[in-house]
Amino acid sequence: MDFDVGFASGFTLDVNTPQLASAGSSIEADAGQLSSVATGLGALGGVDGPRMTARALEDLSTQWVAGVGSLQGDLESLGRGVQGAATLYTSTDETAMGPG
C-alpha cells in the first residue's frame, strides 16, 4: 500500500509502506551480524608481546567492541523505528481512507 499526501504548497509525500517495513526488518536483521565483528575485535586484546603493546591493544579492542555494540543497538533501534513508521503510515492511511 502506498501512502500519498498532497499539501497546499504542492508538495506530495508518497510512501511505499511495504518497502519501508521491509527496509526496517533488513536493517534490524543486519545489525545482528555486528556481534561476530565484536567477537573478532575482542580477540585483538589477547596478543602476546611487550606488556605496553598488549595493554594498548587490549584497550583499543575494548573500545572497539563497545563502539560496535553501541552501533548495533542504534541500528536495531533504527530498524524498529522504520518498521514502526510503516505501521503508522498504514494505520493513518486506513483510518483516513478506509482499508484497501
Distance of CA 14 to the CA centre of its chain: 22
CATH of region 2-97: 1.10.287
Q: How confident is the model at residue 93 (pLDDT cuts 50, 70, 90)?
A: confident
pLDDT tens digits for 19-71? 999 999 999 999 988 888 888 777 766 667 788 888 888 888 889 889 999 99
For residue 16, what pLDDT is reported? 87
Is 79 in contact with 27 (CB distance < 8 Å)? yes
Q: What is the pTM of this model?
A: 0.72
* Contact call for residues 79 and 28 (beta carbons, < 8 A): yes
The secondary structure element, H or E, covering residue 27 is helix 17-31
**3-state helix/strand/coil string of 38-87:** HHHHHHHHHCCCCHHHHHHHHHHHHHHHHHHHHHHHHHHHHHHHHHHHHH
- Quick one: CA dihedral 19, 24, 29, 33, positive or negative? positive
Residue 96: how many other CB atoms lie within 10 Å: 9
